[in-house]
């Protein structure tokens, strides 16, 4: 495998304190994605590529928080005016709080663009491309096309939610899409959600590669 760095963007999904051990929506070993992502972003950017990071960025009364609905609990599923089948979560990644900050281990120096998502009270977003109404664009698609990017390497949190939706949209938008397999971690709820997400991504033609293989492939 060879990858032209100048046509490649590393997309770092939601490496934020609330998704790491000790956070409000902690993902097991979520912080471990930082080291391989740092290696990838530094190498890619030094060879003329780009790195972008997403940041889950919710108002304190966000519609995806169970606390915003009477009698609802995290993991319940509801229909909202804009989204059928929205899962409810504990309060997390509230705008301006330390839980919403990027994890300290993540090197932001090579990251030239940050995409914030889920920032409107009435709409959640898992994907880095389209919010959960599947219509509202974040602008990442235009950014990639303006830079004539062909390949997007994706890592971060969580494999079965934001990484999954981002990768599926990325592939559908026509980009060569590769998951850095050692740089993702999963929520794992409901049971089997990680395996389900991985097989759906593979079925879609999304590739999986270790960060070391990707580093070796960069031209």
* Helix, strand, coil percentages, rounded to 5, for the chain: 30, 25, 45
| Residue 55 contacts residue 100 (beta carbons within 8 Å) | yes
With CB under 5 A as the contact rule, the residue among 18, 56, 169, 194 that binds Zn ion is 56
DSSP letters, 114-131, are EEEES-BTTB---SSSB-
Binding mask 89-108 for ligand VGL (x = CB under 6 A): x-------------------
With CB under 6 A as the contact rule, the residue among 52, 94, 157, 197 that binds ligand VGL is 157
Q: Is 74 helix (H, G, I), strand (E, B) or coil?
A: coil
Interface region with Zn ion, contact rule CB under 5 A, candidates 54-62, 73-81, 129-137, 191-199: 54-62
Site for ligand VGL in 72-91 (CB under 6 A): 89
CB-based contacts of 78: which residues, under 8 Å, 6+ apart?
69, 72, 86, 88
| φ, ψ of residue 22 in degrees (nearest 5) | 95, -10
Q: Is 42 helix (H, G, I), strand (E, B) or coil?
A: helix
Site for ligand VGL in 23-52 (CB under 6 A): none
Least distance from Zn ion to the Cβ atom of residue 25, Å: 7
Binding mask 150-179 for Zn ion (x = CB under 5 A): ------------------------------
User: Which positions touch Zn ion (CB under 5 A)?
Assistant: 56
User: Which positions touch ligand VGL (CB under 6 A)?
Assistant: 14, 19, 56, 89, 157-158, 161-162
């Amino acid at each position: 495998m060879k990858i032209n760095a100048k046509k490649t963007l590393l997309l770092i999904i939601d490496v934020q304190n609330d998704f790491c051990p000790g956070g409000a929506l902690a993902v097991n070993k979520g912080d471990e994605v930082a080291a391989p992502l740092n290696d990838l972003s530094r190498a890619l950017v030094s060879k003329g590529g780009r790195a972008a990071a997403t940041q889950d960025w919710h108002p304190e009364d966000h519609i995806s928080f169970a606390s915003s609905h009477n009698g609802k609990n995290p993991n319940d599923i509801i229909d909202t005016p804009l989204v059928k089948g929205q899962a409810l979560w504990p309060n997390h990644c509230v705008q301006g709080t330390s839980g919403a900050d990027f994890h300290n281990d993540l090197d932001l120096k090579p990251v030239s663009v940050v995409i914030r998502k889920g920032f409107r009270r009435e709409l959640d977003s898992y994907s880095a491309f389209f919010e959960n109404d599947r219509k509202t664009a974040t602008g990442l698609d235009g950014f990639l096309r303006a830079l004539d990017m062909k390949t997007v390497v994706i890592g971060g949190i969580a494999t079965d939610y934001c990484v999954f939706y981002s990768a599926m949209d990325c592939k559908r938008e026509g980009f060569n899409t590769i998951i850095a397999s050692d740089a993702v971690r999963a929520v794992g709820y409901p049971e089997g959600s990680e395996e389900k997400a991985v097989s759906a991504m593979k079925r879609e033609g999304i590739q999986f590669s270790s960060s070391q293989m990707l580093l070796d492939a960069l031209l």
